[in-house]
């Protein structure tokens, strides 16, 4: 890699397959630049990964700024756009394209171009294969002001739900291509699995040639295909579940399993009427986790702009305005808020249709009285603080199981800041999600997620559930390449053919 040539060019392009050192390259390039560099990527996990790698190189913080493409555009639109037609942030399918479109116009302004030139000396854009065409137009607008260096891999272009993705062959003709990264460095680092990395390089070539992957005669140490029956994962005591138990509980204390990613595929399931149902959403993953993770070891990864964050925040704001007029306030609080956070069956142990249950036994009577008192305080004095107290009463005192910890803690955070800052819970939620978007979030330990939530991350061990259900070679490639040491594939078929 000729770093100097790459950073000296006005517009340069580097193709970097998964695990071949793209994040390392971005950090190393900073040694060959002068002035502050702007580094943009697509996800908050990607922001955290880049920041972590740059810190390893001991590069001064004033030499770079890392954030998502969306958050960078958002700052300028919030500062300079004067229109009143901005969509609500919870309407992500309209909000983010709107922000990118207006930012593109703003970045073409001579005044803003001077601001950008005075702030930054160069631009790096990571994961360029995930740029939509309108994001590409925004990057081209920035490239009029800054030397621009883009990195990506067409086989990892999976963020294709908000518009047409950029085409490397037709849309990037103005960028000078430097030689591709060609060595799977991740698997050659000390302690990682070199043979597995070489096998994944072969798999990449097969996928690029539209060929199926045959694991029936695999002999690579650390690569395992476990043949299972369709839907066997839902059967308690099955071979599938026993294998997952060993991974999650790790009874033999294998250090490779302390860094574990379980990937749940997203796919279209045909129902009895011939229609399609999209599987693998957050509710599906939460249900699977509840079935396979009795030890509560797995972190459920969530999309930063899951609409449920914003919908519940709005519900709480509406309750604060109208709860005093409700005929059955306890029922409304339970249905509008508590059932979104906690397991309904456990809530029903403490609530009837009319309110808090009358309990027997001194301990349960005291708990029910405390719950009723906390709810009554919110009804008489509705506020984010008093709603937070109800949620904490259920979580801490009644020990009611919550569905998604990320969702719970995001709501609690929004309630705290809404109260402290005197703003709506909805505004506090938007602020909370935007902070994560800019600062990133480090994801480690034992997690369950999808390819969309884990692209760019790496774990010692990766287990792919129902791998035969992947209907896209790009999603399958991303799933296969998150590992460093061990890759465990659960499938009802030994030959994977994601070309549906």
Local confidence band at 15 (pLDDT 50, 70, 90 cut-offs):
very high
From residue 419, alpha-carbon distances to 236, 312, 315, 324 in Å are 45, 16, 16, 19
Query: Whole-angstrom Cα distance, residue 201 to residue 197?
Result: 6
Q: Does position 244 have pLDDT exceeding 70, yes or no?
A: yes
Question: Each residue of 48-81: pLDDT tens digit?
Answer: 889 999 999 999 999 999 999 999 999 999 999 9
What stretch of H or E contains 240?
Answer: helix 239-249
Question: Each residue of 146-181: pLDDT tens digit?
Answer: 999 999 998 998 876 555 889 888 999 999 999 999
Average pLDDT over residues 482-490: 96
- Three-state DSSP class for residue 176: strand
Average pLDDT over residues 456-477: 92
Q: Is the dihedral of CA 330, 336, 338, 343 positive or negative?
A: positive
Q: What is the DSSP letter of 169?
A: T
Average pLDDT over residues 446-469: 91
Half-sphere exposure of 12 toward its Cβ, with a 13 Å CA cutoff?
20
What stretch of H or E contains 290?
Answer: helix 282-292
Query: Tell me, what's the pLDDT at 391?
Result: 96
**Which two tokens mark 257?**
């399993």
Strand stretches in 171-219, DSSP E? 176-177, 213-214
Q: Is the dihedral of CA 38, 44, 46, 49 positive or negative?
A: positive
Question: Each residue of 208-232: pLDDT tens digit?
Answer: 999 999 998 888 999 999 999 988 9
Local confidence band at 437 (pLDDT 50, 70, 90 cut-offs):
low
Q: What is the pTM of this model?
A: 0.80
Give the percent of the chain with pLDDT over 90.
73
**Which two tokens mark 129?**
């294969």
Local confidence band at 500 (pLDDT 50, 70, 90 cut-offs):
low
Question: Each residue of 336-368: pLDDT tens digit?
Answer: 999 999 999 999 999 998 889 998 889 999 999
């Amino acid at each position: 890699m000729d770093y100097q040539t790459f950073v000296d060019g006005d517009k340069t392009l580097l193709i970097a397959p998964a695990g071949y050192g793209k994040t390392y390259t971005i950090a190393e390039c900073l040694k060959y630049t002068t002035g502050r560099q702007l580094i943009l990527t697509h996800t908050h996990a990607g922001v955290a990964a880049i920041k972590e790698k740059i810190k390893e190189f001991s590069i001064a913080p004033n030499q770079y700024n890392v954030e998502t493409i969306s958050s960078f555009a958002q700052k300028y639109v919030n500062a300079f756009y004067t229109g009143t037609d901005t969509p609500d942030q919870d309407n992500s399918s309209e909000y983010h394209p709107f922000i990118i479109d207006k930012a593109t116009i703003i970045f073409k302004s001579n005044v803003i171009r001077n601001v950008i030139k005075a702030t930054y000396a160069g631009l790096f854009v990571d994961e360029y294969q995930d740029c939509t065409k309108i994001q590409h137009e925004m990057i081209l607008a920035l490239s009029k002001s800054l030397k621009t260096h883009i990195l990506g891999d067409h086989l990892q272009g999976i963020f294709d739900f908000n518009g047409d993705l950029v085409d490397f062959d037709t849309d990037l003709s103005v960028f000078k291509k430097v030689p591709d990264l060609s060595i799977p460095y991740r698997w050659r680092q000390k302690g990682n699995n070199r043979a597995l990395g070489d096998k994944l390089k072969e798999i990449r070539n097969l996928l690029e040639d539209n060929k199926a992957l045959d694991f029936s005669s695999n002999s690579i140490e650390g690569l395992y295909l476990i043949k299972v029956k369709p839907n066997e994962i839902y059967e308690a005591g099955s071979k599938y579940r026993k294998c997952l138990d060993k991974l999650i509980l790790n009874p033999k204390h294998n250090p490779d399993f302390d860094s574990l990613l379980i990937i749940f595929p997203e796919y279209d399931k045909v129902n009895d009427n011939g229609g399609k149902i999209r599987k693998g959403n957050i509710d599906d993953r939460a249900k699977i986790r509840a079935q396979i993770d009795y030890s509560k070891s797995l972190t459920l990864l969530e999309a930063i702009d899951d609409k449920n964050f914003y919908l519940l925040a709005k519900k709480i704001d509406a309750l604060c305005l109208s709860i005093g007029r409700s005929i059955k306030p306890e029922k409304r609080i339970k249905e509008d808020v508590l059932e979104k956070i906690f397991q309904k069956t456990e809530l029903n142990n403490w609530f009837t249709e009319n309110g808090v249950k009358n309990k027997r036994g001194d301990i349960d009577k005291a708990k029910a009285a405390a719950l009723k008192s906390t709810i009554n305080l919110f009804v008489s004095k509705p506020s984010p603080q008093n709603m937070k107290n109800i949620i904490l009463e259920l979580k801490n005192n009644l020990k009611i199981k919550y569905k998604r910890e990320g969702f719970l803690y995001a709501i609690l955070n929004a309630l705290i800041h809404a109260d402290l800052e005197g703003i709506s819970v909805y505004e506090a939620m938007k602020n909370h999600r935007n902070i994560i978007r800019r600062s990133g979030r480090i994801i480690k330990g034992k997690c369950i997620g999808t390819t969309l939530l884990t692209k760019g991350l790496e774990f010692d061990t990766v287990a792919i559930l129902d791998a035969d259900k992947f209907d896209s070679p790009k999603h399958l490639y991303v799933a296969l390449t998150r590992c460093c040491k061990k890759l465990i594939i659960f499938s009802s078929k030994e030959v994977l053919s994601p070309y549906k």
